[in-house]
Amino acid sequence: MKGIVFIAALCAIGQAADITVGTATARAGEKATGYIEVPVGVDAATSLPVIVMNGAKPGPKLALIAGAHGTEYASSVALVQLVSHVDPAQLSGTLMILPLLNVASYQQKVVHRNPVDNKGVGGYPGKADGTQSERIAYAVHNQVIEKCDHLIDYHGGDLDENLHPYSYWTNTGKPELDSTSRDMVLAFGLKTVIIKQARGRGLDSTALGMGKASITVEAGRAGTTEAADVGVLINGTMNVMRYLKMLPGRVNMPYEHPLWVSKFTIVKGEQDGIFYPLVVPEAYVHQGMSVGYITNYFGERIADIPAPVSGVILVACSVPTMKKGDNVVYIGEIGEDPMPRGASR
């Protein structure tokens, strides 16, 4: 009898615990779906879809989060499609997937902000008694960021933005944390990497501040869900999972020496009118070169837009609509590898 009890105890120790996020609870080797409920407050309640994949073997907890801007469609679609590429029985650790944070933005096709409170979803850790965007951030912080070991924040070109895929790596000044997040960004495999400093209250900065290696990635543009953009996000994610030993297989780093961008400048329009771009993403420009022009509604040219710095175009406005203060282009200034020796594992 004692032998049977002892064997049962060993089995219990070896069995992974159930993982719960919101209303989704997944047993070891299984997938579950549900919602993170954001209760009513000073404005309407909302529900955030969540997918939990609990691996059959122990390993890290990786949070994958998209849709803070609801019309950055490619990243949300990529996370939904990723699920079919991962078998929980072969997974070590846990995936906590939130494909759509800003449901109202998605449903109403509103760029950049949440139409419920006209705020951006972010500012972690949020507020339990704030507006809807702040309550979303509060729920995600407490139910996902605090539980995960690593995090990937997914973005892309909004309805009014044209870009080619790139990623962000954040310099925290903590060598071990920076090395891991650098390896994650290289494993994700996008050829342009923007160097950020550790500040602000975004998803990756918040997670890094808690000691959790994190990166931000961008793909998709102007409301499209092209196969190439969705695919690069899925493939990059799975390669990061191999790096973290969550999936078997060799880690492929296609760009051991990516294009490092030390900082970027956002150029804004100073006139209302019709915008005509003269550059495309990944084009190189020099200071003073025209990146576009604006006409009035009669077709008369009223403003040329010069590049204030030399660098590479990261984002360009994808629509003719231009009002004073709108973003025209992002120009990235070329930098150097922030950790050139001994960083990759």
**CATH number, residue 144:** 3.40.630.10
Token representation of residue 234? 């899925």
Are 262 and 335 within 8 A, CB to CB?
yes
The candidate with the shortest Cα–Cα distance to 31, out of 90, 83, 85, is 83
Residue 214 domain-assigned?
yes
Look at residue 253 in the predicted model and tell me its pLDDT.
Answer: 86
Count other C-beta atoms under 10 Å from residue 337's C-beta.
14
Rounded to a whole number of angstroms, the distance between the first and last alpha carbons of the chain is 48
Which CATH number do you get for residue 294? 2.40.50.100
Please tell me whether residues 128 and 79 are part of one structural domain: yes
Please tell me whether residues 49 and 186 are part of one structural domain: yes
Look at residue 199 in the predicted model and tell me its pLDDT.
Answer: 81
Please tell me whether residues 195 and 319 are part of one structural domain: no
Please tell me whether residues 193 and 289 are part of one structural domain: no
Please tell me whether residues 169 and 307 are part of one structural domain: no
Please tell me whether residues 45 and 155 are part of one structural domain: yes
Look at residue 339 in the predicted model and tell me its pLDDT.
Answer: 85
Q: Is the peptide bond before 175 cis (omega within 30 degrees of 0)?
A: no
Domain range holding 158? 2-243
Are 155 and 69 within 8 A, CB to CB?
yes
Residue 75 domain-assigned?
yes
Is the pTM here over 0.85, yes or no?
yes
Look at residue 198 in the predicted model and tell me its pLDDT.
Answer: 82
Boundary of a domain, candidates 176, 208, 243: 243
Token representation of residue 175? 């060598």
Please tell me whether residues 226 and 274 are part of one structural domain: no
> What's the number of domains the chain is made of?
2
b/e sequence 226-242, b meaning 16+ C-beta within 10 Å? eeebbebbbbbbbbbbe
DSSP 17: P
Please tell me whether residues 213 and 269 are part of one structural domain: no
Residue 257 domain-assigned?
no
Please tell me whether residues 25 and 136 are part of one structural domain: yes
Please tell me whether residues 179 and 44 are part of one structural domain: yes
The candidate with the shortest Cα–Cα distance to 221, out of 301, 287, 313, 91, is 313
Look at residue 15 in the predicted model and tell me its pLDDT.
Answer: 54
Please tell me whether residues 185 and 312 are part of one structural domain: no
Look at residue 6 in the predicted model and tell me its pLDDT.
Answer: 40
| pLDDT tens by residue, the chain, 345 residues | 444 444 443 344 345 699 999 999 999 999 999 999 999 999 999 999 999 999 999 999 999 999 999 999 999 999 999 999 999 999 999 999 999 999 999 999 999 999 999 999 999 999 999 999 999 999 999 999 999 999 999 999 999 999 999 999 999 999 999 999 999 999 999 999 999 988 888 999 999 999 999 999 999 999 999 999 999 999 999 999 999 999 999 998 888 899 999 999 999 999 999 999 999 999 999 999 999 999 999 999 999 999 999 999 999 999 999 999 999 999 999 999 988 755 443
